[in-house]
Structure 1
Amino acid sequence: MGRGRGGGGVARPAHDTVRAAAREAAANLARTSDLAERGVSTSTALDAARTTAEEAALAIQRAEATLARFAAGQIDDQPDVVVAARNVAAAEADVARAQMDLGRAEVRAPIDGTILDIHATPGQRPPAEGIMEMGDTDVMMAEVEIWQDRIAAVATGQPVDLAAPALGGSLRGIVQGIGLTVGRQGLISDDAAANSDARVIRVLVALDAASSLVAARYVGLEAVARIDTGAAARAMP
């Protein structure tokens, strides 16, 4: 009888462990099913989670059968008892491996933001640039090219009006930063001669809340900027 009590003491923790693993597998299956319905998780990940949950359920049945034998006093060192213990250990290893696989399959955004572009669909190998592009569009920025002979008049805090024909209106913002390097003009004007050796400094403009809301729909939109370089002088008494 002493051995019977010892065997039951081993079986009960093992049974509890298998039940906990089964609950975790069921939770993972529910979470993966929800992600699959939203198109975030792949069918392969869903099948793997379903298989893990089924194997965990079978492991519980085997552990309960072993526990029943202990409770009934049938505690001899039978081969099937040893096999049951090994099956429990194997089930635990399978659950742990499934959890690791599920963790690697999940895609978590590092920030709250908007998906701008998707480079890979479920089942495809992610490209070098990643599976998608996302950004925080609550505050939109504009990059403005200023000719080098006019940059001396530009200062941070100056109001900026950006004419955007594609929007049928204009956007507003302020100069937030001025670049430190002089580069070639990126935008081409109608005057081909002016583009041959044009040098510009890039200026960052932070759009206001209303303009950011509009510009967020057209990331990469081209606009013509007009910086009010005399605003500070007019504000002085």
Structure 2
Amino acid sequence: MSETQQDTQAVASSLPLPVPREALVVPSARPAERPRLKAIRRLWRLPVLMAILFTGAVIGLYFQPPALKAFFGITGLQPGGGTSTPIAVAPSPAALPTATDTNVSVTALGHLLPHGKTITVSSPYGGSDARIAKILVDEGDPVTANQVLAELDNLPSLKAAVATARANLAASEATLSQTKLTVSTNLAEARATQESAKAALDLAEKELARAKSLQQGGASSTSTLQSAESQLAQARGDLLKAIASVARYDAASPADQADIALAARNVEVAKIQLETAERDISKGTIVSPINGTVISLISRVGERPGTTGLATLGDTQNMQVELEVYQTDIRSIAPGQSIEISSPALATPLKAFVTRIGLEVERQTVLSSDPVANTDARIVRVTGDLDNASSERARGLTGLEVIGRISISGPAS
């Protein structure tokens, strides 16, 4: 028995109450376990120390106290100088854009288009049921305003209607001329008849006076007097008819004469019919509304153009670029700024300048090939005119998607 156990038993024997021997035995710890317990107790200090160091680094990086600035000044080091992408470091004045920095630009997606954009030429009003009989142009051909691009299958019937209307007009004009001649002849005859009736009336009046005188002298019978009175009444009736005939054919002016006026109205109606037929003949042709170039033919012979139209036209002599500038960048854009236009389809960039800034914020339609790009951005359309050399190179590239870089010459107002 060890000395420790003997001392424990001696103390227990001196106590008034009995104590179990197992409770008085003190287990002895093994010497190998003591250093491990001390190491475990020290581990909690490591996280605390790391948290203190991180907090101090963040505070020094953000606030940059005078002592830290003095240290950088003495050593010649710069904040973030050890990386190509420093964070939480204020930009130096030399890195900020200035009003004279011509390298500042706004980049936007867009596409090339003719001056005034493209137009689709459709069938004329009233000719939607007709089919294309002949196409008179081809893709790439230059056209002028009012030039016939195609003929429809209703054109022959419309031409026949014009010929009929012209014949009716000619007949009406001939009738008018004939009517004027007839009226003139009838007026001369009526005036001659009127003069003859006046002479006959004078003679009848004299005969009646003579018959009355003879009857009073007893040299004439009553029947002779009655015959003279009858001839006088007949002469008066013939004179009234002659006067009425002259009044019918005579007027203040030939245009006021009834027969001539009717014939003149028929001529006017024939002219209107001819004008209508000539106007309707446009329903049998499709014409160009502008000076430009045939960019593409949409319909073919035998088809109905319908809503798709016959062809797409545009003024490719003067090309434009339409860029979709983000609404957050539009305040930096102003007319006259230069635009550099690039695309994989172009050997060298094209040159343009801003001519028009849209007045409406729209949804983006030209999308980037980047799969993570924003496809629901809000943009404002900016139009630029290409210079002569760039327009010549871009004539055959209508609709080409391009990247435009608009140089900003000064700060936005």
TM-score, with length taken from structure 1: 0.55
Any gaps of 5 or more consecutive residues in structure 1? 1-34, 54-91
Distance 1:98 1:179 in 2: 44
Q: 1:141 aligns with which of 298, 308, 320?
A: 320
Q: How far off its partner does 1:122 sit?
A: 2.8
Distance 1:97 1:208 in 2: 46
Q: Does 1:163 align with 2:273?
A: no
Give the ranges of 4+ consecutive aligned residues of structure 1 lying more than 4 Å apart after TM superposition.
35-39, 42-50, 95-102
* Correspondence for 1:110: 289
| Letter aligned with residue 108 of structure 1 | V
Indicate conservation of the 8 Å contact 1:172/1:211, yes or no: yes
Distance 1:118 1:37 in 2: 10
- Equivalent pairs counted in the alignment come to 174
Q: Does 1:205 align with 2:384?
A: yes
Q: Does 1:127 align with 2:237?
A: no
Distance 2:371 2:134 in 1: 53
| Letter aligned with residue 404 of structure 2 | A
Indicate conservation of the 8 Å contact 2:158/2:277, yes or no: yes
* Correspondence for 1:183: 362
Q: Cα deviations across residues 183-229 of structure 1 (Å, max 9, x unaligned)?
A: 33223234444415432222111111111122221110111101111
Q: How far off its partner does 1:104 sit?
A: 2.5
| Letter aligned with residue 401 of structure 2 | E
Indicate conservation of the 8 Å contact 2:154/2:284, yes or no: no
| Letter aligned with residue 322 of structure 2 | E
Distance 1:223 1:107 in 2: 33
Q: How far off its partner does 1:98 sit?
A: 8.1
Which protein is bigger by CA-based radius of gyration?
A: 2
Q: Does 1:222 align with 2:332?
A: no
Q: How far off its partner does 1:128 sit?
A: 1.0
Distance 1:137 1:180 in 2: 25
The alignment's C-alpha RMSD in Å is 4.2
Distance 1:37 1:115 in 2: 12
Indicate conservation of the 8 Å contact 1:42/1:122, yes or no: no
| Letter aligned with residue 319 of structure 2 | M
Distance 2:135 2:359 in 1: 49
Q: 1:162 to 1:42 in 2, by over 3 A?
A: same
Q: 2:307 is paired with a residue of what secondary structure? A: coil
124-133 vs 95-104, which deviates more? 95-104
Residue pairs, 1:1-237, within 5 angstroms: 38=136, 40-41=150-151, 45=155, 102-230=281-409
Q: 1:135 is paired with a residue of what secondary structure? A: strand
Indicate conservation of the 8 Å contact 1:162/1:170, yes or no: yes
Q: 1:216 to 1:99 in 2, by over 3 A?
A: same
Q: 1:98 to 1:121 in 2, by over 3 A?
A: farther
Distance 2:388 2:286 in 1: 30
Q: Cα deviations across residues 69-112 of structure 1 (Å, max 9, x unaligned)?
A: xxxxxxxxxxxxxxxxxxxxxxx9xx999866644322221111
TM-score, with length taken from structure 2: 0.34
| Letter aligned with residue 41 of structure 1 | E
Q: Cα deviations across residues 98-141 of structure 1 (Å, max 9, x unaligned)?
A: 86664432222111111122222233212214222212122211
Distance 2:307 2:376 in 1: 34
